[in-house]
Structure 1
């Protein structure tokens, strides 16, 4: 598993670099070909390369992504290394170790019949080209298991916030800042008004038991073209995280109700909801099964966590497929220089994933007794 992980990490796969993602897909395909003894279907959409393996009529979806947030060349500053049982390198935690665990888990089963393995190449961008693939694959399945990195301490991700993304453009009127500023309509100043209004949206939502769980955050912003020109254009990107569908709908409503304050300016809003929330109800029954299987496998008691980050599990849950997320690597510092994986946990998590797949494939209900029905898996190792 460690050798496979090294091979994946050394093949950089920055989401925005389609050529790098295509090279990575080739390495992932070779890994799957060796362990699954089957050719993947290579699907290129909008220049992005995705891989899919299907065995029989899929009833269980194993889901992951091979793109990362790390630009090509990051290996020079953050090289692959293994020291004291800790593996490091760009994308090692999010989520190349999870991919290794998927393939080794499937290889440990007596038969992959009934499984689908989908590895997409644009998750870190919000899955713009792969969302339809994910939703289609999940729609016909009894369960989706997402090998994204675990939460703190190895906790499974039993709920995720929904995500909305917006870009607000302020159109003003440029003018010379020294000679005739009064002829301008300052898009930068209007942008400042809008940033404050946007920052207040979360507080304006109706109070409830989930108050405070919604965040509406202006992030990247820009305005103007030179220091002596009244800005004629300004932009701000907005990141929204919500606990449920109602909050997502309400934020969208308030975003679209924004109005300009300065005469001569106008607003243009783009974007909207990107990922639906992964409701705890979508994971609860599968988490109970996982907890029982973990006990049988001699693992430490499992914990569940609600996280603010989104994943493709939001999409599988959104189409009504029971979904359990965070089944990938145990480690930390995703997207950061300290990104790392605890190597010893990789086979442990692969065994759990294999046991979960076997449970559902053998006819065990998502919320049924984890004992029984998994005899085909027991005794084997991932």
Structure 2
């Protein structure tokens, strides 16, 4: 027997009774070498005492039935040997039961040890092997009724008592085995449920981290691009007039402040519900798109907003936030790759037909300063639009510029 075949058995039950030499699987050999626990010692001692009591009663009955002294002594020695052999029942349950079955045909004092050994077989081995061993015990019990008959009982009554005892012990052992199997299955189910719960928690945590990372990129890329562009302008034009320097410094200061505010807002998601600050700003929606356009214009961009939504507040918050992030990313890319070009932001749609947002900029007319970027913004926007149930396309425009267009659902 192996753990894979019989997972409900205890480690001490994995020993193969048909392999007393230990030539089978190594797991069985390790189980046979396992030391007895305190519980094992208590159970084995109790079984030994019960078998000894039954054996003494059988020897006393043998002497009272008028058997010779030699027969009584033989019963005593064989019964004692059978009881002592019970200490081997964990290592060789089937072999010991078969031996005691044969011995009980001539020594009724071994009957108690036989019942204990049969119980161990019923607890440890599969039903097919148990049926074979139980059949042998029944046959030996019937033979005993003829070899060592009890004058006070009819042979049929003696056989019936033997059959009843065998069935009771076997049923009890099978009940214990079924209970062990049930407990092992429940423990395995609980362990598997805990593992699945941990896996689901890890997946949810990973998804939350990815969402936070995308949100952080969408929010901070816009602010940090302003910092990079205006800091680069100051670097390439060290002799610029003081008003332009002051204006650029003001944009850098405001962008840094807004970046810190946005970062604090995003990190607030990771806090406990009771730790959220009251001063945190709400998430952007379509109603705050005008603020984004005004901010870009203050930074020196030429932006035209074609807003065709009569009631921006009526757009679902999640959809409006996605439109805002798409427009923000489009403005950020235009500022990095087409500085000085006029950018057109278009928002159209109706309830039930969906929302369409587009960002277009023509080709740049002058030199384009190198602004480092991760290249993940458009990928994140595509994922965001897909998760919202929409779609997003981007690529070069016919006039040599760049166009970004997305459609998002707007339920009626």
Which TM-score bucket, shorter chain as reference? under 0.3
**Bigger Cα Rg:** 2
Query: Which structure is higher in strand share?
Result: 1
TM-score, normalization by structure 1: 0.17
Query: Which structure is higher in helix share?
Result: 2
